[in-house]
Amino acid sequence: MNPLRVAIVGFGKIARDQHVPAIAAADGVELVAVASRNASLPGVPHAATLDELLRDGPPIDAVALCTPPQVRHAQAAMALAAGKHVMLEKPPGATVAEITPLVTAARAAQRTLFATWHSRFAPAVEPARQLLAGRKVTSVKITWKEDVRVWHPGQVWIFEPGGLGVFDPGINALSILTRILPQPLFVTSADLAFPANRDAPIAATLALSDAQGLNITAEFDFLQTGPQSWDIDLDTDGGPVTLSMGGARLRAGGKQLVDAAEAEYVGLYRRFRELAATGESDVDLAPLQIVADAFLLGRRRTVEPFEEAT
């Protein structure tokens, strides 16, 4: 089988830190071009924009869109119209509804649309799902707190409309939760803290449930200093279960069941290659729907302005 020839569109921190090494480590996938106005990769053909890449760049089979979510819909539509498979970094878009036309376009073009949730490929997530399949979950607590100044330095778009603010990392926890729990989840209340000078929240508290009345709470914070927290604690009829380090570790019954190195993005590209081989799409919007409902239902509070130190 010929390798899947991928172009990365948008070459910021996530593309450099995750996508480039993952493509190099994934069998059957090859990085053949980069499209970015502000950055390039030595030795790899470069274009300033996606349309320039499609017009003048080397032959490609697929694009990985690592641009801010506010511009991904137009780029995905352009790539699908050009007959390319499309990987969408998370979140897949700035709104829920804009993804549906892309699914339709991918089906018509017989091309893959892959809305990725990289945290679902963390090493402890599937073992946790299998463990919980035999248990009754009685409550869940999410604690997802990190420092935006460390993980998103200079990324102004994240606090602009459609950038999600603290839900950019928080949606990772929701993507795990919607994978490991068997029932659909919905928001029952939300408190959103917006800096006075920003258009997206810097902290949030959510309450969620399912049709059986499961009690779920989530605390998201974008100003955590010191140790960072990416934890999901579940009470079950078989004892407590904890997913920590963003899904890299699983503990249950007083034992560490999984403690593995991160390899999420390699899993993403393996899945992308499998999908592209048949033209199948994989688009689960449940995590994005929860965030959208949090904005719809949430009580908004104004907090002190956020200024990133220079």
The contacts of residue 45 (CB under 8 Å, 6+ apart) are 32, 33, 34, 57, 58
The answer to whether 300 touches 192, Cβ cutoff 8 Å, is: yes
Report the C-alpha gap between 35 and 47 in whole angstroms: 5
- Main-chain phi, psi angles of 145, to 5 degrees: -135, 125
The contacts of residue 125 (CB under 8 Å, 6+ apart) are 119, 176, 179, 180, 243, 247
Closest CA to 71 of 102, 45, 94: 94
The answer to whether 173 touches 232, Cβ cutoff 8 Å, is: yes
CA-CA-CA-CA dihedral for 171, 107, 11, 5, to nearest 10 = 130
What amino acid positions are annotated as catalytic residues? 90
